[in-house]
């Protein structure tokens, strides 16, 4: 190695170390505060205790709300991923007039409907459908908002699957369903994994929709509960919030690790260039 | 995984059903007969409140779940009525909760009994989303309730709009100046303290400024604290100048009163008597509580909530172990003696919740019975769960407040001189404009300038005709 | 493109439509319908409570005129553009690419650790992330204050936009990192090697040998992350738009108008204007993508 190369190597390592610290430091709170006898909104070495954990587990709705979140998000994410995969495949393989323009338009509309201003239409719609207080219904609304971006991302993955694969499969007499199931899906799997995690994470953090659409506190997800852990003056309940934040984070991390282990969490061939 | 294909047809059917229904959805006529279903033997009532077990207003939520519902259903069973009471718990920010209730009432759904902040009553009434009790359950029924006699007139005002009763109030509060006696002693101030004017207040603050690490005075300001700025800052100060924010049908515009209030903020922040950064922080109010509990704020204007729920050595948010000996309280002085609203020497502001009956309820009579039950002496007493709070009922107050010095003080000395906010639909906009004006002053603008901008914002929000002052 | 449109899979139009149907139904019912209704509300004086709630009137372009004349709206547009430009177009893009590029020759273990951390920042729920950053930016022993030896600095009050930009870079770089990692994997190694043999330094290699291959990725990535950032509501959790509107990006303004003021008509109108802004960004992107093709 030339000296210049060595210097550059060191510079690159230093940069990576800085980045590592940049991403790691904010997470320290989640490691310390839940087990601190006097948790605060600041970083300090904790007086270790499990009292907060006990207080959180004793909370009447902490665990049910997490179960609700899992249910809500699994449905939203399954619906989003499956229908987006089908749609992305069809859009990628069949010429439809105005396809790209339509996709962009939907992508833009999704930003309207996930915003605050759409709450009245969505509320009235759900009321008329009889889906107020229905976790399934709320999951469908979430899925509706996530679908355009999911299709957008997946279509590029499917585009990257060489058509020759399908042509050869068809030569050997495979039906369209078999081509999809045995050829396209396996190749596009990392993309599907990506959308799976992305849609789950997005649904997991949504507050306003579940808050307005779900009435029974026993059906509300963790995102809503986290906002209710405050007293009448708006002060946060610091015994419960750090532990609950930790519990609330675990499912998404687990999902990510599982998907990563199984499918290799990266773009395969990438979004189309 | 591919289940959607089977749910799709169902959704299509639903969609077809919707298109027909949507047109009629927002323009229904309301059922008017107050005696409808009065003899039903099987009744389901729902109550909604911004309270949740293990979170916001947990005590109120637990009370409804563990005391109200079992007792009420039992009493009904004795009368041969199969009563089910459902409780919709919420623990959200006030604005989020209000939005949810408004959506419910607007679409003809929602709970039968609704707990609201008294300040929202006017908006909901003007929108026709709540109706006078007389119309909902019948005038004779309403007047026959003996509980009204126990509720002082001033408190009843919380449940009234344009002279008509819409609901039953849930208790009230009062604002005073809390101060730290330890800091006062250190600064050479008397520990029994009662300022008679704004100058007295600022002089004390100036002395406290000599103490290191102590902010002398916390008078909420800025937009980040929201309504807490108006309620614990602007309105008490405004009352101290002799004016109400809404009087003679007009809102205070760029008037001498408003300029005086902004001048007070200017003096506080010019002399460095309060922490300007705290007023702008997203969790500034919470921080001010913590600082007071840590002996780092000298004087703080708050309601009795601060005493019983924040500083409480046992269950408080910012516990202060020596609260009972270290914290003093004083009436809020007018600008000068006698300069306060109604010629008063001292002023205060109050608020409180109110329970209303959904005009679309299927069971108006039963909902009224439930409301009366919620406001019976026995129920109100049990809602306190051994703590003291100013309730709506005089008989209960006489019994429970004697044991708590602050609450007794507020009931005896503050409630007679206090003022309530105007329950009008425009109030939130006026309040927001006032908050902005204080934010401008804290940021360094002159009171005259801030008052001019305030007036412009106000005219835009409520119209020129509703604004007083040049 | 031509090859792409040949029906290699033998789907046929009927089955293709069948594949599209579930997504179309969901999007139609739960997205297009409420979105169009929202846009309609944007031309009325719809309010949730108060006298105007009784009978909403169509006020035409009034809301838009009010918005365009409102200094707070202008302020929000400027802040939103700044936020998207600094944190997404520049911050996430550059950091994501730099990491993807620098991590190629790194040991797999270390690479997975870095990627894992970056992705963790992305998958953690928004409200939790807000608490994490309160702890970093707090003025009572906040981590940043301790590191820079300025423990009493209230970063969110004194530098609200800079704090939000750094926060969003931390939050969203994962997507760019993922995308560029896979994009770089598709660049023929021979070309990078050739460039190096020709004596090109790192930057020249990226510019001449790598960039032409990943141009499409750069554009797709930039579009998605800038749209997501422009519509991001997390700033509300951190600063609530303050102090004194200094970090009131458009989604926060819309939230405050809709929920705190109950002015749904006006809030919907601002949503529409945000949509138009997004549309312009997308058009620029499409133009760039076409020029490449």
C-alpha–C-alpha distance, residues A130 and C180, integer Å:
44
CB atoms closer than 10 angstroms to residue B266: 20
Residues A34 and A92 in one domain: no
Provide the percentage of residues in chain C whose pLDDT is more than 70. 96
Whole-complex ipTM: 0.83
Instruction: Tell the residue number behind the tokens 């604290």, with chain if given.
Output: B225
Q: What is the DSSP letter of B420?
A: E
Interface test with A, best of B1, B2, B3, B4 (most A CBs within 10 A): B4
Identify whether residues B101 and B226 lie together within a single domain. Answer: no
- Chain B: give the shortest CA distance to residue C145, in Å: 16
C contacts of A256 (beta carbons < 8 Å): 119-120, 123
For residue A108, the Cα-to-chain-centroid distance in whole angstroms is: 19
Is position A59 within any domain?
no
Of B4, B109, B309, the CB nearest to A127: B109
Tell me whether residues A79 and B4 touch, CB distance under 8 A. Answer: yes
Q: Kindly state the tokens that stand for B415.
A: 């409630």
- Using the beta-carbon criterion (under 8 Å), do C267 and A118 form an inter-chain contact? no
Query: Which of B282, B444, B454, B456 to substitute to test the interface with C, most C CBs within 10 Å?
Result: B282
Q: Which of the four pLDDT bands, split at 50, 70 and 90, describes residue B305?
A: confident
Closest to C218 measured CA to CA, from C261, C187, C161, C176: C176
In chain C, % of residues over pLDDT 90:
23
- Quick one: which of A49, B281, B270, B316 has its CA closest to C140? B281
Evaluate if residue B356 carries a pLDDT over 90: yes
Count of CA atoms in the C-beta half-sphere (13 A) of A235? 22
Distance (Å) from the alpha carbon of B235 to chain C's nearest alpha carbon: 19
Subunits next to A (3 or more Cβ pairs <8 Å) are B, C
User: pLDDT for C162-210, tens place per residue?
Assistant: 999 999 999 999 989 988 888 888 788 888 888 888 888 878 888 888 8
Angle, helices A189-205 vs C108-123, to 10°: value is 40
Inter-chain residue contact B88 with A217, CB threshold 8 Å:
yes
Confidence of residue C9 (pLDDT cuts 50, 70, 90): low
pLDDT of residue B373: 96
pLDDT in tens, B362-375: 999 999 999 999 99
Same domain, residue pair A44 and A124: no
How far is CA A219 from each of CA A71, A77, B46, B90, rounded to the nearest angstrom?
10, 18, 16, 12
Is B20:A195 a contact under the CB 8 Å cutoff? no
The band of A230, judged by pLDDT with boundaries at 50, 70 and 90, is low
Q: How confident is the model at residue A93 (pLDDT cuts 50, 70, 90)?
A: confident
> How many residues belong to chain A?
273
For residues C168 and A251, the answer to whether their CB atoms sit within 8 Å is no
Question: Is residue B102 within 8 angstroms of chain C, CB to CB?
Answer: yes
Q: How many other C-beta atoms are found inside a 10 Å radius of the C-beta of residue B73?
A: 17
Please give the CATH architecture assigned to the domain spanning C61-292. Orthogonal Bundle (1.10)
Q: Which two three-digit tokens encode residue A36?
A: 């601190």
Place of tokens 């009563």: B83
Q: Say what the pTM is.
A: 0.85
Calpha distance B307→B177 (Å, rounded): 11
On whether any CB of chain C is under 8 Å from the CB of B444, the answer is no
Q: Assess if residue A118 is contained within a domain.
A: yes
- How does pLDDT run across A94-114, given as a tens digit for each residue? 777 777 778 888 888 887 777
Q: Are residues A10 and A90 in the same domain?
A: no
Rounded CA gap, A154 and C230, in Å?
A: 22
Tracing tokens 């899992």 back to the chain, one arrives at: A70
Contact A225, A61 (CB under 8 A): yes
Q: For residues B217 and B274, give the distance between their C-alpha atoms in angstroms, rounded to a whole number.
A: 5
Same domain, B376 and B292: no
CB B312 within 8 A of CB B216: no
Contact B374, B71 (CB under 8 A): no
A110 falls within a domain: yes
From the list B1, B11, B107, which residue is nearest A124 (CB)?
B107
Contact assessment for residue B326 and residue B320, using Cβ atoms and an 8 Å cutoff:
yes
Query: Given an 8 Å threshold on Cβ–Cβ distance, is C39 in contact with A112?
Result: yes
Both A100 and A162 in one domain: the answer is yes
| Domain match, A75 and A34 both | no
Q: Would the pLDDT of A78 be above 60?
A: yes
User: Closest Cα to residue A216, out of B90, B371, B160, B80?
Assistant: B90
The whole-number average pLDDT for the span A135-143 is: 93
Q: Give A130's pLDDT tier (boundaries 50, 70, 90).
A: confident
Q: Higher pLDDT residue, B5 or B44?
A: B44
Average pLDDT over residues B31-41: 83
Residue A233 has pLDDT above 70, yes or no: no
With b for 16 or more beta-carbon neighbours within 10 A and e for fewer, the C190-199 pattern comes to eebeebeeee
Q: Which residue has the tokens 């393989």?
A: A93
Instruction: Tell me which chain C residues have a C-beta less than 8 angstroms from the C-beta of A107.
Output: 227, 282
Would you say residue B12 has pLDDT above 60?
no
How far apart, in whole angstroms, are the C-alpha atoms of residue C125 and residue A245? Answer: 9
B251 and B303 co-located in one domain:
yes
CB within 8 Å: B102 and C262: yes
**Each residue of C117-172: pLDDT tens digit?**
998 998 888 888 888 898 888 887 788 888 888 888 889 888 999 999 999 999 99
Residues in chain C closer than 8 A to A119 (CB atoms): 258
The Cα of B280 is separated from the nearest Cα of chain C by a number of Å equal to 5
- Whether A56 is in a domain gets the answer no
**Residue count (chain C):** 293
pLDDT, one tens digit per residue, over B328-349 is 999 999 999 999 999 999 999 9
H or E stretch covering B380: helix B377-383
pLDDT at A59: 84
Q: Is B27 a residue whose pLDDT tops 70? A: no
Q: Do B211 and B324 fall into the same domain?
A: yes
How many angstroms separate the CA atoms of B3 and A85, rounded? 13
The number of distinct structural domains making up chain A is 2
Q: Is the pLDDT of residue C238 over 90?
A: no
Residues of C within 8 A of B129 (CB-CB) are 49, 53
Closest Cα in chain C to B223:
C244
pLDDT of residue B19: 40
Do both B437 and B289 map to the same domain? yes
Gap between the Cα atoms of C172 and A247, Å rounded:
22
Interchain contact B318–A (C-beta under 8 A): yes
At A160 the pLDDT is 74
Confidence class for position B30, pLDDT limits 50, 70, 90? low
Please state the domain extents for chain C: 1-31, 61-292
pLDDT digits (tens, 9 = 90+) for B392-438: 998 998 888 888 899 999 988 998 899 999 888 888 889 999 999 99
* Phi, psi of C52, deg, nearest 5: -70, -15
List the single residue in A78, A128, A212 with the smallest CB-CB distance to B18: A128
Strands B332-333 and B297-303: unpaired
Say if residue A156 is in the same domain as residue A184.
yes
Contacts of B52 in chain A (CB under 8 A): 61, 217, 228
pLDDT at B453 over 90: yes
Tell me the shortest Cα–Cα distance from B48 to chain A, in angstroms.
Answer: 9
CA–CA dist B313, B272 (Å, integer): 30
Copy the structure tokens of residue B193: 């303290």
Query: So what's the pLDDT on residue B26?
Result: 43
Do B293 and B438 fall within a single domain? yes
The partner residue sitting opposite A271, judged by closest CB among C35, C110, C179, is C179
Q: How far is residue C282's CA from residue A152's CA, in Å, rounded to a whole number?
A: 13
Q: What band does C7 get if pLDDT is binned at 50, 70 and 90? A: low
Query: Which chain B residues are Cβ-neighbours of A81 within 8 angstroms?
Result: 1
Domains identified in chain B, total number: 2
CB contact under 8 A, C31 and A96: no
Does A74 contact B at CB distance below 8 Å?
A: no
Q: What are B44's strand-pairing partners?
A: B84
Question: Is the domain of A24 the same as that of A85?
Answer: no
- Chain B positions touching C156 (Cβ under 8 A) are 281-282
**What is the distance in angstroms between the CA of the first residue and the CA of the last residue of chain B?**
68
Would the CA dihedral through B410, B412, B418, B420 be positive or negative?
positive
B137 domain residue, yes or no: yes
Residue of C nearest to B430 (CA): C261
pLDDT exceeds 70 at position B251: yes
pLDDT averaged over chain B? 88
Residue B203 inside a domain? The answer is yes
Tell me the CA distances in angstroms from B87 to A38, B51, B72, B422, one per residue in order: 34, 10, 13, 30
Chain C residues within 8 A (CB-CB) of chain B? 21-22, 25-26, 28-29, 47-51, 53-54, 134, 139, 154, 156-158, 238-245, 258-262
Per-chain mean pLDDT for chain A: 82
Question: How many Cα neighbours within 13 Å face the side chain of B47?
Answer: 28
Q: Is pLDDT above 90 for B239?
A: yes
Q: Does the beta carbon of C153 lie under 8 angstroms from any beta carbon of chain A? A: no
Write out pLDDT tens, residues B73-124: 999 999 999 999 999 998 877 888 888 899 899 888 889 999 998 888 988 9
Shared-domain flag, residues B307 and B438: yes
Residue of C nearest to B106 (CA): C48
In B, minimum Cα distance to C131 occurs at: B283
Distance (Å, whole) CA C130 – CA C151: 19
The runs of H, that is alpha helices, within C107-159 are: 108-123, 126-137, 143-147, 155-158
Hey, what are A196's tokens?
Answer: 């799976």
Q: How many CB pairs under 8 A join A and B?
A: 106
Reported as a pLDDT band with limits 50, 70 and 90, residue A234 is low
Residue B31: inside a domain: no
Report chain B residues whose CB lies below 8 A from the CB of C50.
Answer: 123, 126-127, 425-426
Q: B429 lies in which domain range?
A: 175-350+422-468
Q: Is C120 on the interface with A (CB under 8 A)?
A: yes
Q: Which residues partner with B176 through β-bridges? A: B302
Which pLDDT score, from 0 to 100, does residue A218 have? 87
Cβ contacts of C104 on chain A, cutoff 8 Å: none
Residue A137 sits in which domain range? 64-263
Contacts of B458 (CB under 8 A, 6+ apart): B251, B253, B429, B430, B433, B467
* C48 neighbors B102 (Cβ within 8 angstroms): yes
Under the banding of pLDDT at 50, 70 and 90, the label for residue B18 is very low
Half-sphere exposure of B317 (CA within 13 A, CB side): 26
B196 contact C CB<8A: no
Report the CATH number at residue A120: 1.10.3720.10
- C69: enclosing H helix or E strand: helix C62-69
Note whether residue A208 is domain-resident: yes
Q: Are residues B161 and B253 in the same domain?
A: no
Asked, for residue B19, whether it belongs to a domain, the answer is: no
Position A231 scores a pLDDT of: 55
The answer for residues whose C-beta is within 8 angstroms of residue B437's C-beta and 6 or more apart is B258, B262, B450, B451, B453, B454
Partner A contacted by C6 (CB < 8 A): yes
Same domain membership, residue B242 and residue B190: yes
Report phi then psi at C126, rounded to 5: -50, -50
Which residue does chain A place closest to B88, by CA atoms? A216
CA distance B61 to chain A (A): 12
Could you tell me if A198 and A234 lie in one domain? yes
Residue for token digits 């100046």? B177
B325, B441: one domain: yes
Q: How far is A21 from chain C (nearest CA, A)?
A: 10
Residue B316 belongs to a domain with what CATH number? 3.40.190.10
**What does the pLDDT average to over B169-178?**
93
Using one digit for the tens of pLDDT, what is the confidence trace for A144-185?
Answer: 989 988 998 888 778 877 778 888 888 888 877 787 788 888
A69 plus A35 within the same structural domain? no
Alpha helices (H) in A33-162, listed in sequence order: 51-58, 62-93, 99-113, 119-128, 135-159
Residue C7 corresponds to which tokens in the numbers above? 């029906």
Q: pLDDT value at position C2?
A: 42
What is the per-residue burial (b if ≥16 Cβ within 10 Å, else e) of A63-102? ebbbebbbebbebbbbbbbbbbbbbbbbbbbbeeeeeeee
Cβ contact (<8 Å) for B96 and C53? no
> Chain C residues with CB inside 8 Å of B434's CB?
none
Cβ of C293: how many Cβ atoms within 10 Å?
6
């Amino acid at each position: 190695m030339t000296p210049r190369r060595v210097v550059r190597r060191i510079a690159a390592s230093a940069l990576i170390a800085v980045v590592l610290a940049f991403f790691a430091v904010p997470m320290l709170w989640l490691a310390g505060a839940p087990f601190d006898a006097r948790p605060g909104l600041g970083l300090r070495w904790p007086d270790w205790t499990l009292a907060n954990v006990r207080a959180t587990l004793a909370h009447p709705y902490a665990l049910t709300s997490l179960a609700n979140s899992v249910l809500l998000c699994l449905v939203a994410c399954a619906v989003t991923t499956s229908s987006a995969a089908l749609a992305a495949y069809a859009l990628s393989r069949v010429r439809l007039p105005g396809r790209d323009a339509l996709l962009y338009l939907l992508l833009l509309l999704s930003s309207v409907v996930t915003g605050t201003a759409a709450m009245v239409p969505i509320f009235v719609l759900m009321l008329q459908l009889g889906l107020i207080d229905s976790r399934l219904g709320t999951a469908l609304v979430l899925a509706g908002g996530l679908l355009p971006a999911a299709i957008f991302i997946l279509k590029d993955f499917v585009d990257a699957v060489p058509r020759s694969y399908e042509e050869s499969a068809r030569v050997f007499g495979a039906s369209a369903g078999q081509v999809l199931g045995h050829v396209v899906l396996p190749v596009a799997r990392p993309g599907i994994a990506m959308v799976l995690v992305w849609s789950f994470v997005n649904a997991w953090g949504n507050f306003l929709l579940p808050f307005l659409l779900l009435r029974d506190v026993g059906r509300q997800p963790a995102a809503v509960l986290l906002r209710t852990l405050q007293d009448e003056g708006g002060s946060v309940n610091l015994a419960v919030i750090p532990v609950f934040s930790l519990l609330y984070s675990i499912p998404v991390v687990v999902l990510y690790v599982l998907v990563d282990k199984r499918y290799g969490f990266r773009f395969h061939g990438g979004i189309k260039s | 995984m591919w289940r959607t294909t089977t749910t799709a047809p169902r959704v299509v059917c639903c969609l077809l059903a919707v298109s027909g229904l949507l047109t009629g959805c927002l323009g229904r006529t309301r059922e008017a007969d107050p005696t409808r279903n009065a003899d039903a033997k099987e009744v389901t009532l729902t109550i909604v409140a911004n309270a949740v077990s293990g979170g916001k207003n947990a005590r109120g939520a637990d009370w409804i779940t563990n005391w109200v519902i079992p007792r009420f259903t039992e009493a009904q069973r004795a009368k041969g009525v199969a009563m089910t009471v459902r409780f919709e718990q919420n623990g959200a920010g006030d604005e989020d909760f209000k939005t949810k209730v408004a959506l419910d009432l607007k679409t003809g759904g929602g709970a039968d009994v609704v707990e609201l902040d008294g300040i929202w009553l006017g908006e909901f009434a003007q929108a026709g989303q709540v109706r006078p009790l007389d119309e909902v359950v019948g005038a004779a029924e309403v007047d026959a309730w003996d509980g009204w006699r126990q509720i002082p007139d001033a408190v009843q005002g919380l449940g009234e709009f344009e002279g008509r009763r819409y609901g039953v109030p849930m208790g009230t509060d009062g604002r005073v100046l809390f101060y730290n006696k330890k800091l006062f002693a250190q600064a050479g101030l008397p520990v029994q303290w009662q300022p008679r004017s704004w100058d007295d207040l600022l002089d004390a603050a100036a002395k406290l400024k000599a103490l290191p690490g102590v902010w002398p005075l916390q008078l909420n300001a800025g937009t980040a604290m929201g309504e807490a700025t108006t309620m614990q800052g602007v309105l008490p100060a405004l009352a101290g100048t002799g004016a109400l924010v809404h009087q003679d049908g007009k809102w205070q515009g760029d008037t001498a009163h408003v300029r005086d209030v902004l001048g007070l903020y200017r003096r506080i922040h010019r002399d460095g008597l309060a922490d300007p950064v705290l007023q702008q922080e997203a969790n500034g109010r919470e921080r001010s509580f913590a600082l007071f509990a840590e002996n780092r704020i000298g004087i703080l204007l708050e309601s009795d909530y601060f005493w019983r729920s924040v500083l409480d050595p046992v269950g408080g948010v910012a516990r202060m172990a020596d609260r009972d000996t270290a914290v003093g309280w004083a009436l809020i002085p007018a600008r000068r003696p006698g300069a306060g609203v109604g010629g008063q020497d001292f002023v205060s502001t109050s608020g409180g919740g109110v329970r209303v009956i959904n005009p679309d309820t299927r069971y108006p009579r039963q909902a009224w019975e439930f409301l009366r039950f919620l406001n019976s002496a026995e129920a109100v007493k049990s809602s306190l769960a051994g703590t003291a709070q100013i309730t709506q009922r005089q008989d209960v107050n006489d019994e429970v407040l004697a044991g708590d010095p602050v609450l007794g003080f507020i009931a005896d000395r503050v409630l007679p001189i206090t003022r309530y906010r105007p329950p009008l639909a425009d109030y939130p906009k006026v309040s927001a404009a006032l908050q902005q004006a204080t934010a401008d002053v804290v940021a360094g603008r002159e009171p005259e300038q801030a008052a001019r901008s305030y007036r412009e914002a106000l005219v835009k929000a409520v119209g020129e005709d509703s604004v007083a002052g040049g | 493109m031509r090859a792409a449109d040949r029906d290699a899979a033998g789907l046929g139009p009927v089955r293709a439509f069948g594949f599209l149907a579930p997504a179309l139904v969901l999007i139609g019912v739960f997205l297009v319908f409420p979105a169009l209704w929202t846009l309609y509300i944007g031309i009325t004086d719809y309010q949730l409570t108060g006298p105007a709630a009784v009978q909403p009137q169509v006020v035409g372009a009034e809301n838009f005129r009010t918005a365009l004349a409102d200094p707070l709206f202008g302020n929000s547009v400027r802040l939103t553009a700044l936020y998207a430009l600094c944190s997404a177009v520049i911050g996430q893009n550059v950091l994501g690419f730099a990491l993807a590029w620098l991590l190629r020759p790194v040991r797999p273990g270390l690479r997975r650790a870095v990627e894992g951390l970056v992705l963790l920042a992305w998958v953690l729920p928004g409200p939790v992330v807000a608490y994490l950053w309160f702890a970093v930016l707090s003025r009572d022993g906040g981590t940043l204050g301790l590191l820079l030896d300025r423990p009493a600095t209230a970063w969110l009050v004194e530098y609200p936009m800079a704090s939000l930009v750094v926060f969003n870079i931390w939050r969203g770089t994962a997507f760019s990192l993922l995308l560029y990692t896979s994009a770089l994997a598709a660049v023929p190694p021979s070309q990078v090697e050739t460039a190096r043999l020709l004596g090109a330094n790192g930057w020249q290699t990226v510019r001449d040998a790598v960039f032409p291959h990943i141009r499409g990725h750069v554009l797709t990535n930039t579009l998605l992350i800038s749209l997501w950032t422009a519509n991001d509501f997390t700033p509300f959790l951190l600063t609530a738009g303050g102090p004194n509107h200094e970090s009131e990006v458009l989604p926060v303004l819309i939230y405050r108008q809709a929920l705190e003021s109950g002015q749904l008509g006006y809030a919907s109108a601002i949503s529409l204007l945000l949509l138009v802004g997004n549309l312009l960004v997308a058009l620029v992107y499409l133009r760039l993508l076409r020029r490449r093709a």
